Amino acid sequence: MCHLIWQLITGQVAVTRNLVRRNMRCDNYCPRCGELEESVTHAIFECPPALQVWSLSATPTSPGIFPVASVYTNMDYLFWRKNEIL
């Protein structure tokens, strides 16, 4: 889990936006929902399949739970909310 968090914060997750930026040949759309661009924020916090996973997780969530389109702010929110729930 720590490795994933590190990858999210440093922008090292292999989403299409990052792959295109590294000059790798791929389509820039999200392969799960077809969104025009797959960013880290989209893949983790905005993509409908990701939201379904969040709804099944131990962290109670609801649609629109993540406050902004920023991976940093949303991760901070998750850690804050985790302490609030426990």
**CA–CA distances in Å: residue 3 to residues 11, 12, 25, 34:** 12, 10, 26, 27
Position 86 pLDDT exceeds 50: no
- pTM (two decimals): 0.66
Categorize the per-residue pLDDT at 59 as very low, low, confident or very high, splitting at 50, 70 and 90: low
pLDDT, tens digit, 9 for 90 and up, residues 22-39: 899 888 899 999 999 898
